[in-house]
Structure 1
Amino acid sequence: MPLGRHLMKTLLLACLVIAALFALGCTSAPAVPAEPTPSLAPEVVNFEVLDLNAEDFGDMPAPTATPEPTPTPIPFSYYAPTVNMTYEELVGSTDDMSVKARELLKDGFPDPKTYYIIVDKQWQVVLVYLRIDDGTKLGKPDLTQPVRYMLCSTGNPNKEYGHETTSGIWQIGVPKERFYQFVNLEAAQYLTLIHSRTYFHSVLYDKAKDLRSLVKESYDNLGTKASHACIRLTVPDARWMWYNIGYGTTCEIRDGDPSDTVTGTIRAQLKLPPSIEGIKLTAGTAPWTDNWQIEDVLHVLPYKYQAAPLPDLGDGEEDTPPPIDTSTVPTVTDTPAPVTDTPPPADTPSGGW
């Protein structure tokens, strides 16, 4: 028995020693402290300070000035868009030929003090400017602000039933017609009454609302005296007048001067394409390349209806023009010139009426 107890104690002691050794092996080794990283000394940078008051500062080059922007010149076609139009557009029509004027114009017109119209019979042009409201009834044109240039035909007294378009300063009347049949069985688009029985209107047709009946000579003779007394225009120009010129707008019809090279330079550039024999026109198919839209017209003056008097047929029945206030009438040399070419005076038409 003593021997057995001794063995038991020996085994127990051995187990304790083994357990102690095992526990000692599972513990982590102590961390080794890291060596400190040596810090770098800051680098000293020397800057040379420029003394703006030093004597040698005056040798530095002066800064380059920003150049003024060069304005883009306005092309002549901006004021005369018809020079870039096709023959079809100049004599055709939109698809509203049968719509009444009271429906198309129901929203009214711009203020009658917006524009000032000049018709020059010598050069056969219509010039529209912004108007200067100088406190007078008729105002005067702002010759630095052109709006539209148009080729036209005024009255030719050498034609049957024709006579000279009366000169004077007028206020545009109320009557307007979309497609009007004259008593002599010819017709025109976009009638705007100037005074008495003298109108702005388009080239002629043998029958209202029938584009196939176009009178080609009335287009060919634009730029010459060829009408009974009215002012003939291309269809786009007559349409512009119809929508943009309200009753009460000042319209000056002047004789003009053959030595007025300023207005002549405008006339020289109003060149339209030649007519096309036998062209087949259909309402609504002609392009619209004009520089304005009907929906953009300002509506200040309300629409009014008044029956259109018969156009002047050369019977001599004319209103006496109102006295001209010479203080408001520009001299012909005041017309601004966009170009330098000088054309010959307008010729007498070779055909048409």
Structure 2
Amino acid sequence: MPRTTPHTLKRALLPLALVIPIVGASIWLLQAERPAGTTPSHATETTASRNTVSPSPRVAVPPASANDRNTLAHATPRSLGENPYAPSLAGTDIDGRLRADADGNLVVELETRDFFDYFLNTIGEVPAERALSEIETLAYGHLPERAARQAMALLGRYLAYKDDMMAMGNRNLDPARQHDPAYQLETLKTALADLKALRRQSFSGQTHEAFFGLEEAYGDYTLASLDIRQRQDLSAEAKADLQVWHREQLPEVIRRTETRMLAEGERHQQRQQAIASAGSAKQAGERLRSLGVDEARINDVVGYLEERERFDDRFQDYQRARASVRASGLASEEAARQETRLLEEYFADEQTRTWARLRALDARSP
């Protein structure tokens, strides 16, 4: 059977030349990074988009065991090979995949959206038709025909959604209020609410959850965190408790990542404080060691700090020699030549000379 790209795909080609998955200038705060190893949700599109009448996938029941997962034998490959159609994809694995269940129906999950985006992100580097053709070829080449048709129908809805989202993003902040934190937060809340409404309108509940569930959960958490931070009626302790409570409401996979990031941030702050408060490179190394930092990293830090200490000593000697030249009464041209000679004498490479010039300028600043 000939594989014809749905009309919706063609309608959305031009807006996709600059695919921007953002609503408003600040909504990037709500885009959660999906941790590696996320267990995919199984969902399917059960209703047709307003712009397509292509077949819709039926519910694919999540496998209950490893043996059941083995029945999901039809899936797109993980790589485009050594010579992908777009140069930017060279050396990369395909982000996401399309796959079908044992009944030949498309399994709709987060990896489905990732797969679409992997190819759509090359639009501009290659013509839109080329990127869409690659998706179509892989779908029909590796999935049962029914699942491939379902994938292309879902891609049509996804493109129409991106089209509508681009139009939604053409909003401007009120210039008189754009620096007001309360106004910024309200704008973010409105943007996320509108984005959720558009997604519910564009996709079935199951597909909405599969494609955007984690992202929206993190968006809600981010807005709650910003709201707590702006509250004037809460103590610091109450704010911290509420922040923890909201974090505990996150889906487990995001909660683990967020907790790990916060712990790493705290460790980073402790290390920075240990370095800043140390009286010498050696003392900084000892303090980092007490915080459990590995020896290789300690050696790198200590080596850098020792280099800076040596530079500081040389810079002091250079400044004294430079002051002597300036006090000698030499003509300005000769004095400039002497200062250049001193710079080359005290600092052997261009990097340290640049440091010295900047330090000298800083020393002369009021």
Q: Which has the higher contact order (CA 8 A, sep 6+)?
A: 1
Q: TM-score, normalised by structure 1?
A: 0.22
Higher strand share: 1
Rg larger in structure: 1
Higher helix share: 2
Q: TM-score, normalised by structure 2?
A: 0.21
